[in-house]
Amino acid sequence: MAPYITGFLADNTGSLASGFYLAAILLVVGFIASFFLDESNRPNVADEEPVKA
């Protein structure tokens, strides 16, 4: 989907920079959203005993 969206933005704005701006905005949104993930129910593997082979 990314090439189509970038091409659409480039056709409408006349510049390929708009695709890079969109990618940067999505990266920042994803980075901020990662702070709101609830990881309290993840198992803590550091407390488990190692498996003996």
pLDDT in tens, 13-48: 999 999 999 999 999 999 999 999 888 887 777 766
Whole-number pLDDT of residue 48: 67
Helix (H, G, I), strand (E, B) or coil at 38: coil
Place of tokens 């980075």: 31
pTM for this structure?
A: 0.65
- Angle formed by the axes of helices 2-13 and 17-33, to 10°? 130
Rounded Cα gap, residues 25 and 13, in angstroms: 17
Longest dimension (CA), the chain: 61
Residue 6, pLDDT > 70, answer yes
pLDDT the model gives residue 38:
85
3-state class (DSSP) for residue 30: helix
